Protein backbone atom coordinates (compact mmCIF):
# COMPACT_ATOMS: atom_id res chain seq x y z
CA UNK A 1 0.00 0.00 0.00
CA UNK A 2 1.31 3.45 -0.91
CA UNK A 3 1.64 6.26 1.62
CA UNK A 4 -0.66 9.25 1.19
CA UNK A 5 2.28 11.28 -0.16
CA UNK A 6 3.04 8.57 -2.73
CA UNK A 7 -0.66 8.51 -3.61
CA UNK A 8 -0.53 12.28 -4.22
CA UNK A 9 2.47 11.89 -6.54
CA UNK A 10 0.70 9.12 -8.44
CA UNK A 11 -2.41 11.33 -8.71
CA UNK A 12 -0.32 14.16 -10.19
CA UNK A 13 1.31 11.77 -12.70
CA UNK A 14 -2.16 10.79 -13.93
CA UNK A 15 -3.08 14.48 -14.24
CA UNK A 16 0.01 15.12 -16.40
CA UNK A 17 -0.78 12.05 -18.46
CA UNK A 18 -4.29 13.38 -19.14
CA UNK A 19 -2.80 16.64 -20.38
CA UNK A 20 -0.19 14.86 -22.52
CA UNK A 21 -2.91 12.69 -24.05
CA UNK A 22 -5.01 15.76 -24.93
CA UNK A 23 -7.93 14.68 -22.78
CA UNK A 24 -8.32 17.96 -20.92
CA UNK A 25 -7.33 21.63 -21.00
CA UNK A 26 -7.70 24.56 -18.59
CA UNK A 27 -9.35 24.04 -15.20
CA UNK A 28 -11.90 21.49 -16.39
CA UNK A 29 -11.88 17.81 -15.69
CA UNK A 30 -11.59 16.12 -12.35
CA UNK A 31 -10.20 13.02 -10.75
CA UNK A 32 -10.61 11.13 -7.50
CA UNK A 33 -9.21 8.00 -5.94
CA UNK A 34 -10.03 5.99 -2.86
CA UNK A 35 -7.38 6.19 -0.13
CA UNK A 36 -9.13 4.01 2.40
CA UNK A 37 -12.56 2.71 3.27
CA UNK A 38 -13.92 6.14 4.10
CA UNK A 39 -11.63 8.75 2.50
CA UNK A 40 -10.50 9.71 -0.96
CA UNK A 41 -8.16 12.09 -2.75
CA UNK A 42 -9.83 14.60 -5.08
CA UNK A 43 -8.88 17.46 -7.39
CA UNK A 44 -9.94 20.86 -6.07
CA UNK A 45 -12.12 23.18 -8.10
CA UNK A 46 -10.58 25.95 -10.20
CA UNK A 47 -7.02 24.65 -10.64
CA UNK A 48 -5.84 23.28 -13.98
CA UNK A 49 -4.32 19.83 -14.19
CA UNK A 50 -1.14 21.52 -15.37
CA UNK A 51 -0.84 23.81 -12.34
CA UNK A 52 -1.98 21.26 -9.78
CA UNK A 53 0.54 20.48 -7.03
CA UNK A 54 0.52 17.88 -4.25
CA UNK A 55 -0.31 20.55 -1.65
CA UNK A 56 -3.46 21.47 -3.62
CA UNK A 57 -5.03 18.02 -3.48
CA UNK A 58 -7.87 17.51 -1.04
CA UNK A 59 -8.73 14.59 1.17
CA UNK A 60 -12.48 14.20 1.57
CA UNK A 61 -14.83 11.71 3.17
CA UNK A 62 -17.49 9.78 1.33
CA UNK A 63 -20.04 12.50 2.05
CA UNK A 64 -17.85 14.96 0.12
CA UNK A 65 -16.70 16.91 3.19
CA UNK A 66 -13.09 18.15 2.99
CA UNK A 67 -10.99 16.63 5.75
CA UNK A 68 -7.60 17.94 4.68
CA UNK A 69 -6.47 20.74 2.37
CA UNK A 70 -7.69 24.16 1.30
CA UNK A 71 -10.24 25.01 -1.29
CA UNK A 72 -13.38 23.34 -2.47
CA UNK A 73 -13.56 19.88 -4.03
CA UNK A 74 -14.54 19.70 -7.67
CA UNK A 75 -18.18 20.54 -8.30
CA UNK A 76 -18.49 17.02 -9.72
CA UNK A 77 -17.74 15.40 -6.36
CA UNK A 78 -21.31 14.06 -6.14
CA UNK A 79 -20.83 12.34 -9.49
CA UNK A 80 -17.71 10.56 -8.24
CA UNK A 81 -19.38 9.63 -4.96
CA UNK A 82 -22.38 8.21 -6.79
CA UNK A 83 -20.09 5.70 -8.51
CA UNK A 84 -18.21 4.76 -5.34
CA UNK A 85 -21.52 4.16 -3.52
CA UNK A 86 -22.73 1.53 -5.98
CA UNK A 87 -19.40 0.04 -7.06
CA UNK A 88 -17.11 -1.27 -4.32
CA UNK A 89 -14.78 -2.54 -7.07
CA UNK A 90 -13.98 1.04 -8.16
CA UNK A 91 -10.91 2.78 -6.74
CA UNK A 92 -10.51 5.69 -9.18
CA UNK A 93 -12.73 7.92 -11.32
CA UNK A 94 -11.79 10.43 -14.01
CA UNK A 95 -13.99 12.94 -15.81
CA UNK A 96 -12.66 14.77 -18.87
CA UNK A 97 -13.83 16.66 -21.96
CA UNK A 98 -11.70 15.07 -24.73
CA UNK A 99 -12.60 16.48 -28.17
CA UNK A 100 -13.66 13.39 -30.11
CA UNK A 101 -15.52 11.60 -27.33
CA UNK A 102 -17.16 14.84 -26.22
CA UNK A 103 -18.33 15.45 -29.79
CA UNK A 104 -20.28 12.18 -29.52
CA UNK A 105 -21.55 13.25 -26.09
CA UNK A 106 -22.71 16.61 -27.45
CA UNK A 107 -24.68 14.76 -30.12
CA UNK A 108 -25.94 12.24 -27.50
CA UNK A 109 -24.63 9.47 -29.75
CA UNK A 110 -22.94 6.36 -28.46
CA UNK A 111 -19.41 5.78 -29.74
CA UNK A 112 -19.21 2.84 -32.15
CA UNK A 113 -16.76 0.22 -30.86
CA UNK A 114 -15.03 -0.58 -34.15
CA UNK A 115 -11.81 -2.17 -32.94
CA UNK A 116 -11.50 -5.56 -31.29
CA UNK A 117 -9.76 -4.13 -28.25
CA UNK A 118 -12.38 -1.39 -27.76
CA UNK A 119 -15.18 -3.95 -27.93
CA UNK A 120 -13.35 -6.36 -25.61
CA UNK A 121 -12.26 -3.78 -23.02
CA UNK A 122 -15.08 -1.23 -23.10
CA UNK A 123 -18.00 -3.51 -23.90
CA UNK A 124 -20.48 -0.67 -24.20
CA UNK A 125 -20.42 3.09 -23.66
CA UNK A 126 -23.84 4.29 -22.49
CA UNK A 127 -24.93 7.91 -22.81
CA UNK A 128 -26.18 9.48 -19.58
CA UNK A 129 -28.96 12.05 -20.16
CA UNK A 130 -28.12 15.74 -19.76
CA UNK A 131 -28.27 17.12 -16.22
CA UNK A 132 -26.78 20.15 -14.51
CA UNK A 133 -23.12 19.76 -13.59
CA UNK A 134 -22.61 18.41 -10.10
CA UNK A 135 -26.33 18.10 -9.48
CA UNK A 136 -28.08 15.44 -7.44
CA UNK A 137 -30.01 14.52 -10.60
CA UNK A 138 -26.74 13.84 -12.41
CA UNK A 139 -25.53 11.70 -9.52
CA UNK A 140 -28.71 9.62 -9.70
CA UNK A 141 -28.41 9.16 -13.47
CA UNK A 142 -24.77 8.15 -13.09
CA UNK A 143 -25.71 5.61 -10.40
CA UNK A 144 -28.36 4.08 -12.67
CA UNK A 145 -25.70 3.39 -15.28
CA UNK A 146 -22.73 2.42 -13.10
CA UNK A 147 -24.70 0.07 -10.86
CA UNK A 148 -24.14 -2.39 -13.72
CA UNK A 149 -20.75 -3.98 -12.89
CA UNK A 150 -19.89 -4.32 -16.60
CA UNK A 151 -19.96 -0.55 -17.15
CA UNK A 152 -16.53 1.05 -17.00
CA UNK A 153 -17.12 4.24 -18.99
CA UNK A 154 -20.00 6.48 -19.99
CA UNK A 155 -20.64 9.64 -21.94
CA UNK A 156 -22.31 12.53 -20.17
CA UNK A 157 -24.66 14.01 -22.78
CA UNK A 158 -23.67 17.58 -23.72
CA UNK A 159 -20.67 17.32 -21.39
CA UNK A 160 -17.84 14.76 -21.57
CA UNK A 161 -16.77 11.33 -20.34
CA UNK A 162 -16.59 9.40 -17.09
CA UNK A 163 -14.24 6.45 -16.62
CA UNK A 164 -14.05 4.29 -13.50
CA UNK A 165 -11.43 1.68 -12.74
CA UNK A 166 -10.09 -0.51 -9.97
CA UNK A 167 -7.53 2.26 -9.47
CA UNK A 168 -6.74 5.64 -10.96
CA UNK A 169 -4.38 4.22 -13.58
CA UNK A 170 -7.06 1.88 -14.91
CA UNK A 171 -9.58 4.73 -15.03
CA UNK A 172 -7.04 6.81 -16.98
CA UNK A 173 -6.34 3.94 -19.39
CA UNK A 174 -10.06 3.58 -20.03
CA UNK A 175 -10.45 7.32 -20.68
CA UNK A 176 -7.60 7.23 -23.18
CA UNK A 177 -9.15 4.22 -24.92
CA UNK A 178 -12.53 5.99 -25.12
CA UNK A 179 -10.95 8.98 -26.84
CA UNK A 180 -8.95 6.79 -29.24
CA UNK A 181 -12.11 4.81 -30.02
CA UNK A 182 -14.10 7.99 -30.68
CA UNK A 183 -11.38 9.30 -32.97
CA UNK A 184 -11.25 6.03 -34.92
CA UNK A 185 -15.05 6.01 -35.23
CA UNK A 186 -15.12 9.64 -36.40
CA UNK A 187 -12.35 9.10 -38.97
CA UNK A 188 -13.77 5.81 -40.25
CA UNK A 189 -17.18 7.44 -40.83
CA UNK A 190 -15.43 9.82 -43.24
CA UNK A 191 -13.58 7.17 -45.26
Structure confidence by residue, pLDDT tens digits, 103-153: 999 999 999 999 999 999 999 999 999 998 888 899 999 999 999 999 999
Q: H helices of 90-166, where?
A: 99-106, 116-122, 136-146
Nearest alpha carbon to residue 160 among 183, 188, 119, 128: 128
Give catalytic status of residue 179 as yes or no. no
Return the pLDDT at 36: 82
Element (H, E) at 131: none
Which DSSP string corresponds to 55-101? GG-EEEETTS-EEESSSPBPTTHHHHHHHHHH-TT--EEEEE--HHH
> Residue 38: is its pLDDT beyond 60?
yes
Identify whether the C-beta of residue 118 lies closer than 8 Å to the C-beta of residue 89.
Answer: no
CATH superfamily placement of domain 4-189: Class II aldolase/adducin N-terminal domain (3.40.225.10)
Q: Which of 6, 7, 68, 76 is catalytic?
A: 76
Structure confidence by residue, pLDDT tens digits, 66-106: 999 888 898 899 999 999 999 999 999 999 999 999 999 99
Amino acid sequence: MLSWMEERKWFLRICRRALDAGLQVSTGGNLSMILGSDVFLVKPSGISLYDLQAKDLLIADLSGKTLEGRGKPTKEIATHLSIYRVRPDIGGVVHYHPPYATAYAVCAKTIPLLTVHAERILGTIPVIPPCDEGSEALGLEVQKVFVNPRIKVALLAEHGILAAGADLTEAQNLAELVEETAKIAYLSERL
